[in-house]
């Protein structure tokens, strides 16, 4: 009986999971919107993939902007993957549970950001967190983050240099090369999404 309840619960969760929608006229941009059943956070995820290689079966690199609304408060996050990541689900903010009462340690990675066409002496170096999905999430400014610039800072620059290059600051032997994202379609959809109003 317990197994039956677990299976039916898993089926219910699978049915309620939002389906990514392709943004009209933007084949490399997906939109996922929903409300997390446990935390009641309303989220919009905009996933911009690099154009795929015709004979490749691997997921391409992806840049994701995420807009959150929780009890009337807005928050913004962004993520990057260097390819091979097919998991695009929403990860709710941590909250204590009987099984996991404390926030577990995370792995942080330094990435360099530079804008294609911009005249700058060196890339911006920022701290990102490696998530269970394989994505890397920018650590928004705060008490536990060394980063000083919020997402709005980067968006203001992307209005003038709408292509961004992201790479490991100190790449290891097996780390992928840097990737370039042309963000015009993402910025347009971000502007047209009420949940992402800044």
Give the Cα separation of 12 and 164 in Å (integer). 39
The domain total for the chain is 1
Output helix, strand, coil percentages for the chain, rounded to the nearest 5.
20, 35, 45
Residue 58 lies in a domain: yes
pLDDT given for residue 103 in this prediction: 59
Tokens at 29, concatenated:
């941009």
Looking at residue 99, what is its pLDDT? 66
Three-class SS of residue 12? helix
How far apart, in whole angstroms, are the C-alpha atoms of residue 194 and residue 133?
A: 27
Predicted pLDDT of residue 79: 95
4 part of a folded domain: no
Say if 1 falls within a structural domain.
Answer: no
Per-residue confidence (pLDDT) for residue 95, from 0 to 100? 64
Helices 151-158 and 184-192, packing angle to 10 deg? 120
pLDDT value for 57? 66
pLDDT along the chain (198 residues), means of 10: 37 54 83 89 91 68 92 90 87 69 74 83 89 91 91 89 91 88 90 76
Residue 40 lies in a domain: yes
Residue 5 lies in a domain: no
pLDDT at 5 (0 to 100): 36
pLDDT score, position 105: 63
Give residue 44's domain range: 12-88+106-196
Can you give the pLDDT at residue 44? 92
Residue 33, number of CB atoms within 10 A of its CB: 16
Residue 101 placed within a domain: no
- On whether residue 34 sits in a domain, the answer given is yes
Q: What is the pLDDT of residue 129?
A: 93
pTM of the model: 0.82
Does some domain include residue 25?
Answer: yes
């Amino acid at each position: 009986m317990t197994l039956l309840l677990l299976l039916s619960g898993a089926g219910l969760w699978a049915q309620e999971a939002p389906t990514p929608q392709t943004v009209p006229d933007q084949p490399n941009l997906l939109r996922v919107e929903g409300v997390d059943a446990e935390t009641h956070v309303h989220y919009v995820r905009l996933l911009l993939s690099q154009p795929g290689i015709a004979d490749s079966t691997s997921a391409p690199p992806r840049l994701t902007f995420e807009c959150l609304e929780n009890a009337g408060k807005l928050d913004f996050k962004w993520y990057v993957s260097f390819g091979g990541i097919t998991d695009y689900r929403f990860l709710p903010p941590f909250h204590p549970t009987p099984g996991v009462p404390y926030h577990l340690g995370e792995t942080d990675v330094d990435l360099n950001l530079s804008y294609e066409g911009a005249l700058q002496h060196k890339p911006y170096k920022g701290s990102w967190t490696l998530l269970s999905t394989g994505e890397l999430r920018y650590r928004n400014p705060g008490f536990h983050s060394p980063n000083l610039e919020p997402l709005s800072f980067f968006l203001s620059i992307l209005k003038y240099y709408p292509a961004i290059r992201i790479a490991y600051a100190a790449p290891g032997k097996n780390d992928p090369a840097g990737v370039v994202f042309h963000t015009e379609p993402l910025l347009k959809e971000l502007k047209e999404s009420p949940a992402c109003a800044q």
